[in-house]
Structure 1
Amino acid sequence: MSIEQPAALAPGVAPPPRIDLGALLLRRWQPEDLAARLEAVNASFDHLHPWMDWLAEPMTLERRRACDEAEAARWPSQDGSCNYGIFDVEGAVLGAIGIHDRVAPRTVEIGYWCHIAHTGRGVITRSAAALTRIALALPGIDHVEIHCDEANTRSAAIARRLGYRLDRVEPRAIRAPAESGRGMFWVKDNEA
């Protein structure tokens, strides 16, 4: 039996659908992004698959289309997520990032992935920093969290670099091949 958490985002409250960071653009995925998004995920499959439970096998066009259609129907989506593509100035997909309203009252989670061709260039650090600031400025949000497996040192390094504090490490189900079964829960508090 699961206990459903009250939503952290009040009705009508959401981050902006477009965040311009100069050399990077975070924007709500659009239907015309389907092919580029599919290509980016599949090009990065070997890099993402070990950590992403939603990528147990390469993404098919049909599955990507179904996910995109469900996501495009509302902002935030039905599951309380606000998912962005990360693009460069030419419009190439560099990765993805999102705010997920599934943690606890007054708390949202940030999740992300980077296209394998663009890792190690600060893409996720800059995107997560911006989205953290925006999330903490939303009405009713006191905390932003980043969750990752203890073995996922690259994801933990992002949280550490952005000044998140390690709140706890606890056992959790192994959902992807490289996971250790120990989840790290990083928290950034609203200091306003």
Structure 2
Amino acid sequence: MPFLISPVLTAGTLAHRPQPTLHADGGLLLRPWRTDDAPAVYEVFQDPVMHQWHARAADSVAEVADWIQQWRGAWQEEREAHWAVADADSDALLGRVALRELRLDDGTAEVAYWTVPAARGRAVAARATTALTHWALDETGFHRLELLHAVRNEASCRVATRTGFALEGTKRSAVLQPDGWHDMHLHARIRGE
């Protein structure tokens, strides 16, 4: 049965090219992950704040190296797109920004991010999210990006608001975390806004 509409993005939109390196304001670089980032990511996942807002923990550097391989492979499979957020001068890891839940036919994805403890309060997540959003909507042609965060995660809500993601509502009891079910704010940006 034929479709009555064409896909927003065709299969191969991402996989047919190398994952780009993106520049963000304030000397940030969004670059593909490297295996040698594993020790720094492992350290971040020892932070109690990460345990508060993420359901995943890291038991070893080797485990994180496997995550990085999965993140890199997700680009070729067009499932997800993950970038390391680094200082452009020193290459020090400052965080991660990603597009998850890619649906190329619909032109939609979910934005996710985290920052290392030393980078918090410096607008690293906001600057990285702005650069990723510009690339996804304006350069690549995604139609809609969503951003979800726990209602109690006020820092994440500030990032969403600062980067132009409109609050659309609350998904009740939507995500299970170690401390129980969390209501999630749903923010979104549409191409051309």
Which bracket does the TM-score occupy, shorter chain normalised? 0.7 to 0.9
Give how far 1:99 is off. Answer: 1.1
1:19 aligns with 22
Q: 1:79 to 1:54 in 2, by over 3 A?
A: farther
Report matched runs for 1:39-78 at 5 Å. Answer: 39-42=43-46, 45-55=47-57, 58-73=58-73, 76=75, 78=77
Residue identity opposite 2:20 in structure 1: P
Unaligned runs of 5+ in 2: 1-6
Q: Deviations over 1:60-83 (max 9, x none)?
A: 223212212222335x15471111
Give how far 1:16 is off. Answer: 4.3
Percent identity over paired residues: 24
1:30 aligns with 34
Judge conservation of contact 1:8–1:108 (CA < 8 Å) in 2.
no
1:108 aligns with 109
Give how far 1:176 is off. Answer: 1.7
Q: 1:123 to 1:179 in 2, by over 3 A?
A: farther
Give how far 1:118 is off. Answer: 1.0
Higher relative contact order (Cα pairs below 8 Å, separated by 6+ residues)? 1
SS at structure 2 position matched to 1:17: coil
Residue identity opposite 1:185 in structure 2: L
Give the TM-score, by structure 2 length.
0.82
Give how far 1:170 is off. Answer: 1.9
Return the alpha-carbon distance in structure 2 between the equivalents of residues 86 and 149 of structure 1: 22
Return the alpha-carbon distance in structure 2 between the equivalents of residues 23 and 133 of structure 1: 16
Return the alpha-carbon distance in structure 2 between the equivalents of residues 179 and 116 of structure 1: 24
Give how far 1:166 is off. Answer: 0.9
Judge conservation of contact 1:97–1:127 (CA < 8 Å) in 2.
yes
Judge conservation of contact 1:71–1:78 (CA < 8 Å) in 2.
no
Q: Deviations over 1:156-191 (max 9, x none)?
A: 111111121111212134422456621111011111
Q: 1:54 to 1:102 in 2, by over 3 A?
A: farther
Q: 1:116 to 1:103 in 2, by over 3 A?
A: farther
